[in-house]
């Protein structure tokens, strides 16, 4: 049962990754814009009540804004990933498993997060012990 869940989860993650790329692609925006233009060019659009026209125009702007925002988020996310990979790769003590971590599955990320949670707790305990030792020396 767990393997079925894992395969479904991996399939869904690939679907999401593909969808994010498609939604942020300029061709997708152009197709959406053409769809809106064709919708606005239809004579039945102008036979509607004024409030319906305003509602449809707001919906069209929102629809096109989605693709613009997705493109901006994709670009920003890629830039952050590149910067983080550069920082991790340049640090001698850093774990190389962090480079390109965005390509890991959610289950792998959860496992890594748990590992780092324990590392952070150990570091916090060591820091408290060091402060206690400094207090005793003074």
Q: What is the pLDDT of residues 48-58, one digit of tens each?
A: 999 999 999 99
Domain extent at residue 21: 2-96
Is residue 79 located within the same domain as residue 133? no
Is residue 56 located within the same domain as residue 85? yes
The answer on pLDDT for 43 being more than 80 is yes
pTM of this structure: 0.67
Is residue 9 located within the same domain as residue 53? yes
Is residue 80 located within the same domain as residue 33? yes
Is residue 19 located within the same domain as residue 72? yes
Is residue 116 located within the same domain as residue 84? no
Is residue 33 located within the same domain as residue 91? yes
Q: Which tens digit of pLDDT belongs to each residue from 64-120?
A: 999 999 999 999 988 888 888 888 878 777 777 777 777 777 778 888 888 878 877
Is residue 92 located within the same domain as residue 128? no
Are 105 and 13 in contact, with CB atoms under 8 Å apart? yes
Distance CA 93, CA 83 (A): 17
C-alpha of 94 from chain center: 23
Give the CB-side neighbour count of residue 49, counting CA atoms within 13 A. 3
């Amino acid at each position: 049962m767990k393997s079925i869940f894992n395969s479904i989860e991996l399939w869904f993650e690939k679907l999401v990754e593909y969808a994010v790329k498609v939604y942020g692609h300029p061709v997708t925006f152009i197709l959406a814009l053409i769809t809106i233009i064709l919708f606005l060019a239809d004579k039945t659009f102008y036979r509607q009540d004024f409030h319906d026209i305003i509602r449809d125009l707001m919906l069209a702007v929102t629809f096109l804004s989605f693709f613009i925002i997705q493109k901006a988020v994709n670009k920003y996310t890629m830039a952050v990933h590149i910067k983080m990979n550069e920082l991790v790769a340049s640090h001698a003590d850093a774990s190389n498993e962090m480079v390109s971590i965005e390509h890991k599955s959610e289950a792998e990320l959860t496992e890594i997060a748990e590992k780092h949670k324990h590392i952070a707790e150990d570091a916090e305990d060591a820091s408290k012990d060091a402060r206690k030792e400094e207090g005793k020396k003074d």
